Structure formats: structure tokens, C-alpha cells
Amino acid sequence: MTVAQQAPSALNFDCETGNYHTFCPISCVSWLYQKIEDSFFLVIGTKTCGYFLQNAMGVMIFAEPRYAMAELEEGDISAQLKDYEELKRLCLQIKRDRNPSVIVWIGTCTTEIIKMDLEGLAPQLEAEIGIPIVTARANGLDYAFTQGEDTVLASMAHKCPTSAQVQGEDKEERNAIQKLLTFGRKADQEKVESEYVDHQPLVLFGSLPDPVVTNLTLELKKQGVKVSGWLPAKRYTELPVIDEGYYVAGVNPFLSRTATTLMRRRKCKLIGAPFPIGPDGTRAWIEKICSVLGIEPQGLEEREAQIWASLEDYIQLIRGKSVFFMGDNLLEVSLARFLIRCGMTCPEIGIPYMDKRYQAAELALLEKTCSDMGVPLPNIVEKPDNYNQIQRIKALQPDLVITGMAHANPLEAQGINTKWSVEFTFAQIHGFTNARDILELATRPLRRNSQLGELGWDKLIAKDVPAQV
């Protein structure tokens, strides 16, 4: 196992256990239903949960065919109704109306509090209705925002077949669609195979948009690394085969449970690497995978340098400036590391949850980056208190604050440049090619405000309007 190294000690970690705001972990529905095309997501919760997805996330209207709420009513809460019968009724209706390949039950705070045994009910119901059911406890009592995806993927990891199972059923059938699409271009396929180094199978985990999946797969292919599969795949029926001893690597910092599940339950070997965000992170990620698979990476240094050179126009805008992360989506450490490499300073990284083991390599790279760039180490604040943070922001006056949506407009109104962290959750930020998109987002408030400044807008707006907190 390569993850066991302890977190570097020079970094300072605080845990404020404060009152902080992030999105609810059930948000993951909004990107996972798009990613897994044959899925149906059933969120089992209250009106509060449903209204969140509808309003704050704006998902409901567009997701309608493949997402619904199982709204708990008074009878469900007081246990007058049988959970099994109720869920069966709903799932049968979903099967009749939509016939998905999988139904994902998203448990919420309410199912936790009333102790609804979703994991216990699922196998029985799955057998009865003939559709696989994945259960995930994406509740706000235990998790924040993006960790919802972690709960779903951890649960899905159990459902990945082994190669024995796949050979047992009909392998032909499993790949029937792919075969149709490639028209049996067998010769082509064999030629492609020879481009790979012979190594132990590697499965990547983390939900990324398809173009990014292709991109990262290609980057690894250039080094002769073959990606056997992604968790999740585009379709539930194409979940990757996972056998004992397979290597796995994550692409996102919030997937610690999935990593643990793959290691403990599926006996995979986790490659603990920094995350492929920014050219520095992407290079480190590829290098680590190569080194574990016994491959000498080729041309990565030049590739990274080339990307940095192409980013120069953006970097000029932020070099020497400071960025403050209030903490929202758990991408904070990776983004901070990249922005510090771009020449920024970062006094504070707020983060809802910090798994020092799973993020060990990323934290080490952060520390190294700070020392390379000669800037102080950021203070990492777990479960920050937003009120205290705002006082610190007022004192520090950072050039950019990356924050959740509830604070963005008020901070901007106080003359502080802000960027919504949510955008980094949804934008394509992974890999070499997309590094530019991160900077496009991060510099937008600075560019916009300097443009308004050039137009003379700052003379029209009184700068020190007293705004209350």
C-alpha cells in the first residue's frame, strides 16, 4: 500500500467545528445522474431535501426523467407505514415508467434519524423487482457537499463484478454494444493493445465528464498505462471489473470512503497520489501511477513546462496576489496548491472535512510547493466557522476569496473579489489541458473588476459603503 505515509507535520491543522455553510451531499445527484446514463436516483427524504435540489441546485426540472424524491410524510416518520412496502410501491412505479438499469437510493439525514434500514431493505427488494439497487447514505449529519459522490461510489464499488463473474455470465453480451459500435475493427484493436506496457490492471475512480475521462485516459496511454475501467462508467451495466490485487487511483480529493472500500472490501491496491488538478498535480499523478506500475514516464517534464508557458497570460494576473478558501467542496487543497504554484499566496484553506491519509500525497505536494515558491504555508481549517472567517477576511483583505454561494454576493458587496467554489465542482478542471479553465475561472472576478475599473465604474460606486455583516 502506498498511502500509509503520514501527513507532513509542518502544516498547521485547525478544527473550528463552527457553523459553516456548504451544499447538502445529496447534490451529487445533479452530476451523477448525468454521468451514469441508465441510472435512476431516488432521494429518500423530506420536503427540505427536495426543495434544495429544486431551488438551490436547480436540478429538478431537467433531471425529471431520471431523478425523483421519495417524500417522507407524517406516517413514514411515525413508523405507521411499512418502509419496505412503501419503497416497493415507488420502485415498481419507477420500473414501470422509466425502466432504469439501476436505482440508486440516496439516504438523507431523515432516514438516518428515523433509522430506516435502507441497506437491509435493498437486497430483498432488488430480488423482488429485478433491478439492482445501490444505497448511499449521502446525509448532512456525516458528510458535506461533494462527499455525497463518495458515498455513492463507495456503495457502487461493491457492485463491480469480478472477472470470474464476468466470464461466468456471458462476456460477449456484456460488450455487445461496444462491439456493434466498433464494427469488429479487430485489427485496429490489436494494434492498439501493443501500445501498452504489460502491467497489473488499473481502475480509476471519480465521476468526471466524458471528455475529461477520455483526456486522462489518453494521457496515461501516452505512458503505456492502460486504464481498465472507470468507477463510475457511463452506464451502470459497464461498471469496471475489479479483482483482488488491482491497482486503483482516485481523481478527486473527496473520495476517501471509496478508496477505503476498494482497499478493504475489494482488496485493491490504492495508488496515493496528488490529484490531477493543474499541470503540477497532473504530472505528479501520472508519475506516481507510472512509478507504481514500474514504468519510466516519458516527456512529462516538457509537457508540464509547455502547459505552464501557455498559462502565462493568466498567471500574470494573479502572481503575487492572495487567495482565501472559505471551504466548500473539498477540492480546496488541490486548488490552493495549484494557485500557489501559479505564484499566489494562501493564508487559509477552509475545508469541511480533511482526510489526512487519503490526501497525504496532496498535502505533501502542497508543502513542497510552498517551500519551492518561498511562501508561507496556509493554515488548514477543518469545519470552519464562517462568521470567524469573515472577520479574518476583513482583517486580511485577500485579493480573491473562493467561497460557497451564500457568501459570494455579500462579500463582493464589501469590495472583496469572490469566486463561487461550486463552479470548480462543475467545470472541467482535471488534467493538463483543463488547467487553463481553472485559471479562466479564478481570474474572472479580477478581470471583470479591472475591466469595470477601466471603464470608470469604480468612480460611480462609492467604495466604502458601510455594509453590515
Partner 1 sequence: MKLAYWMYAGPAHIGTLRIASSFKNVHAIMHAPLGDDYFNVMRSMLEREQNFTPVTTSVVDRQVLSRGSQEKVVDNIVRKDGEETPDLIVLTPTCTSSILQEDLANFVDRAQMDAHCDVLLADVNHYRYNELQAGDRTLKQIVEFYIKKARKQGNLATEKTAKPSVNLIGFTTLGFHNQHDCTELKRLMADLGIEVNLILPEKATVDQLAKIPQAWFNLCPYREIGLMTAEYLQEEFAQPYVDITPMGVVETARCIRKMQQVLNQQGFDVNYEDFIQQQTRHVSQAAWFSRSIDCQNLTGKKAVVFGDNTHAAAMTKILAREMGIHVVLAGTYCKYDADWFRAEVSEYCDEVLISEDNGAIADAIARIEPAAIFGTQMERHVGKRLDIPCGVIAAPIHIQNFPLGYKPFLGYEGTNQIADLVYNSFTLGMEDHLLEIFGGHDTKEVITKGISSDSDLGWHSTAQAELNKVPGFVRGKVKRNTEKFARERGLSEITLEVMYAAKEAVGA
Single out the residue of 122, 201, 207 nearest to residue 162, CA to CA: 201
Could you count the other beta carbons within 10 Å of the beta carbon of residue 288?
18
First to last CA, the chain: 48
Residue 62 CB neighbours (<10 A): 12
Residue indicated by cell numbers 482583517: 395
Helix H segments across 344-434? 360-373, 386-396, 405-413, 421-426
* 49 labeled part of a ligand binding site: yes
Shortest separation between residue 364's beta carbon and partner 1, angstroms: 27
Neighbours of 459 (CB within 10 A): 9
Q: Which is nearer to partner 1, 207 or 345 (CB)?
A: 207
Instruction: Name the 3-class secondary structure at 348.
Output: strand
- Our CB check for partner 1 shows the closer of 57 and 166 to be 57
Query: Closest CB to partner 1 among 77 and 396?
Result: 77
Report whether 24 belongs to an annotated binding site: yes
232 preceded by a cis bond (ω within 30 of 0)? yes
Min CB(117)–partner 1 separation in Å: 15
In angstroms, give the least distance from the CB of 120 to partner 1: 17
Report the run of H or E that residue 92 belongs to, with start and end: helix 83-98
Q: Nearest distance from residue 172's CB to partner 1, in Å?
A: 22
Beta carbon nearer to partner 1, 56 or 375: 56
Q: Can you read off the three cell numbers belonging to residue 124?
A: 430483498
User: Measured from the CB atom, is 51 or 451 closer to partner 1?
Assistant: 51
The C-alpha cell that represents 29 in the structure block:
445527484
CB of 371 to partner 1, least distance (A): 29
Residue 76 CB, shortest distance to partner 1, in Å, is 6
Residue placing its CB nearer to partner 1 in the complex, 298 or 409: 409
Distance CA 59, CA 233 (A): 21
290 has binding-site annotation:
no
Smallest distance, partner 1 to C-beta of residue 283, A: 14
Give 202's strand partners. Answer: 227, 247
Q: How far apart are CA 85 and CA 76, in angstroms?
A: 11
CB 374 within 8 A of CB 8: no
CA-based nearest residue to 212, from 225, 195, 230: 230
Minimum CB distance to partner 1, residue 121 (Å): 12
228: enclosing H helix or E strand: strand 227-231
> Which residue's entry shows cell 515558491?
373
- Cross-strand pairs, 381: 14, 350
- Pairwise CA distance, residues 71 & 294, whole Å: 51
CB nearer partner 1, residue 146 or residue 359: 146
CA 144 to chain CA centroid, Å, is 12
Nearer to partner 1, 26 or 102 (CB): 26
- Binding site for [4Fe-4S] cluster, by residue number, is 24, 49, 109
- Binding site, by residue number, is 24, 49, 109
